[in-house]
């Protein structure tokens, strides 16, 4: 019974376990504990600093409001940009990591970033091709029903076409409606 007020008795005492299992509890007593370097404070670490040198912050990085400063080293490969960057920056500046709003804003920023990437691809010479890049054409050729048996993600597979094709269909509808509105003028 795991949720009783009284602590249940141990099935075996540490002495019984030590007698039955060779080596059990060898590190229980700190006096006989193997000398793990991380527990010793008298060893020379080789570090020449008390606080490591800090990486230069060349542009304002997002940081949690729980922390006063950035860690000594941080990533710079994907700087925030565009509307998605503004959403993410707002999430970090306004809400704690313990708040749901923080994470929902980060998810919204991710979705906006994906939409921005799709829009950017439309103005390139090689725009995204959702038919070939999502694997939709391969579905009927690669045993679509048999390959899904026994998979743990069967329940949400009904939603996959909506999630993958939905934004494209919605974008096409918005584009057609915008063109119709322009023609009516």
- The four Cα atoms 109, 176, 170, 124 give a dihedral, to 10 degrees, of -50
CA angle 19–24–26, rounded 5-degree value: 115
Confidence of residue 107 (pLDDT cuts 50, 70, 90): very high
User: In whole angstroms, what is the distance from residue 64 CA to residue 108 CA?
Assistant: 18
Mean pLDDT of 4-29: 84
95 has a pLDDT exceeding 80: yes
34 has a pLDDT exceeding 80: no
* Per-residue pLDDT, 174: 92
User: In whole angstroms, what is the distance from residue 63 CA to residue 71 CA?
Assistant: 10
Distances (CA, A) of 183 to 63, 176, 179: 47, 11, 6
- pLDDT, one tens digit per residue, over 37-85 is 667 777 787 888 888 888 998 888 888 888 888 888 999 888 999 999 9
Least confident of 11-20, 75-84, 136-145: 136-145
């Amino acid at each position: 019974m795991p949720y009783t007020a009284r602590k249940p008795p141990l099935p075996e005492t540490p002495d019984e376990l030590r007698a039955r299992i060779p080596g059990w509890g060898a590190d229980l007593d700190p006096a006989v504990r193997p000398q793990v370097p991380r527990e010793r404070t008298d060893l020379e670490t080789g570090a020449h600093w008390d606080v490591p040198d800090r990486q230069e912050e060349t542009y304002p990085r997002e940081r949690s409001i729980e922390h006063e400063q950035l860690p000594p080293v941080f990533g710079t490969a994907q700087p925030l940009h565009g509307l998605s960057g503004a959403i993410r920056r707002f999430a970090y500046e306004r809400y704690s990591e313990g708040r749901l709003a923080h994470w929902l804003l980060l998810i919204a920023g991710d979705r906006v970033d994906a939409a921005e990437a799709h829009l950017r691809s439309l103005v390139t010479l090689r725009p995204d091709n959702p038919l070939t890049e999502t694997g939709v054409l391969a579905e009927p050729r690669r045993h679509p029903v048999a390959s899904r048996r026994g998979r743990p993600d069967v329940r949400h597979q009904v939603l996959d076409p909506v999630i993958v094709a939905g934004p494209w269909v919605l974008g096409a509808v918005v584009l057609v409606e915008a063109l119709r509105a322009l023609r009516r003028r």
